[in-house]
Amino acid sequence: MQDQEFWHNKWAENQIGFHLDDVNPLLTAFWLQLGLARQDNVLVPLCGKSEDLIWLAQKHEEVTGVELSNIAVRAFFAEHFYTPMVTPLNGQHELYQFDELSIYAGDFFTAPLTQYQCIYDRAALIALPPELRAIYAERIKSLLAPGGKILLISLDYPQSEMQGPPFSVPKSEIEVLFAGFNITHLQRDEADETHPRIQKGLSRFAEEVWLIESD
């Protein structure tokens, strides 16, 4: 479903410029505004080996990630000196569990997931080409519990000026993908001339934060 070979190669060759070594500052800035309880479970699609998982696990009793690359999942636990319990599932996925954290290694679209009170999307939607974004949006909407919330971080730039990923997903597309949900635009951070993307030739580049809520 995803361009799986592309992402497997990125991790195998350690071409992971998309990986942040620290917790995403947008997560810490906006998460507490969601008003979630400790017992509310959280899903992190296409999570890589993100430090955000550690931060979320300090706030919630159950945090579930899904990541295509076994290399990324194993690296996550090894770098934190965690020894997870590993359970093979259906020949397509492996489930890694340690305390509050569970990570499914395998395809997000077929992972045996339940419903979640909150979904945190830092770099999943923008990792996918246009033809997969609608399918992905339907999938996460189906995984969102009634009254649940999605914290989504997206990018907006002229797609003609740079080949993704990460892709540009502008406001107009967000509104189409999540039609019927309550969409709140929390922040737009416009890059200045010192930003690496601007210095590499983009005429504009913005990071945006959205709160998407089901009724």
Asked whether 92 and 122 are in contact (CB, 8 A), the reply is: no
pLDDT tens per residue across span 149-161: 999 999 999 999 9
Asked if the structure places residue 46 within a domain, the reply is yes
Q: Which candidate, 111, 118, 79, places its Cα nearest to that of 92?
A: 111
Range of the domain at 156: 4-12+22-213
- Read off the pLDDT band of 12 (50, 70, 90): low
Q: How far apart are CA 93 and CA 194, in angstroms?
A: 42
User: What pTM, to 2 d.p., does this model score?
Assistant: 0.92
CB 155 within 8 A of CB 167: yes
Residue 119, beta-bridge partner list: 43, 150
Q: What is the average per-residue pLDDT within 50-79?
A: 95
Q: How confident is the model at residue 194 (pLDDT cuts 50, 70, 90)?
A: very high
Q: Is residue 68, in this structure, part of any structural domain at all? A: yes
Task: Look at residue 45 and tell me if it is in a domain.
Answer: yes
DSSP structural state of residue 180: T
Position 17 in a domain: no
pLDDT at 74: 93
149 Cβ neighbours under 8 A, 6+ residues apart: 34, 36, 117, 118, 119, 211, 212, 213, 214
197 phi and psi, to 5 degrees?
Answer: -65, -35
Rounded to a whole number of angstroms, the distance between the first and last alpha carbons of the chain is: 29
A 10 A CB-CB count for 121 gives: 23
Q: Is residue 162 helix, strand or coil?
A: coil
Q: Phi/psi at 183 (nearest 5 deg)?
A: -115, 125
The predicted structure's pLDDT at residue 175:
98
Percentage of residues of the chain with pLDDT beyond 70: 91
**Where residue 196 sits, what CATH number does that domain have?**
3.40.50.150
Examine the pLDDT at 2 and tell me if it is beyond 70.
Answer: no
pLDDT band at 14 (very low <50, low <70, confident <90, very high): low
Q: What is the largest CA-CA distance in the chain?
A: 49
186 is a domain residue: yes
93-98 vs 101-105, strand pairing mode: antiparallel
Q: How far apart are CA 65 and CA 49, in angstroms?
A: 9
Number of structural domains in the chain:
1
Instruction: Identify any residues that bridge with 98 across adjacent strands, giving them in sequence order.
Output: 101
* pLDDT range class, residue 1, cuts 50, 70, 90: very low
Each residue's pLDDT tens digit, 103-135: 999 999 999 999 999 999 999 999 999 999 999
Cis (ω within 30 of 0) for the bond into 25? no
Give the torsion through C-alpha atoms of 123, 213, 144, 71, to 10 deg. Answer: 10
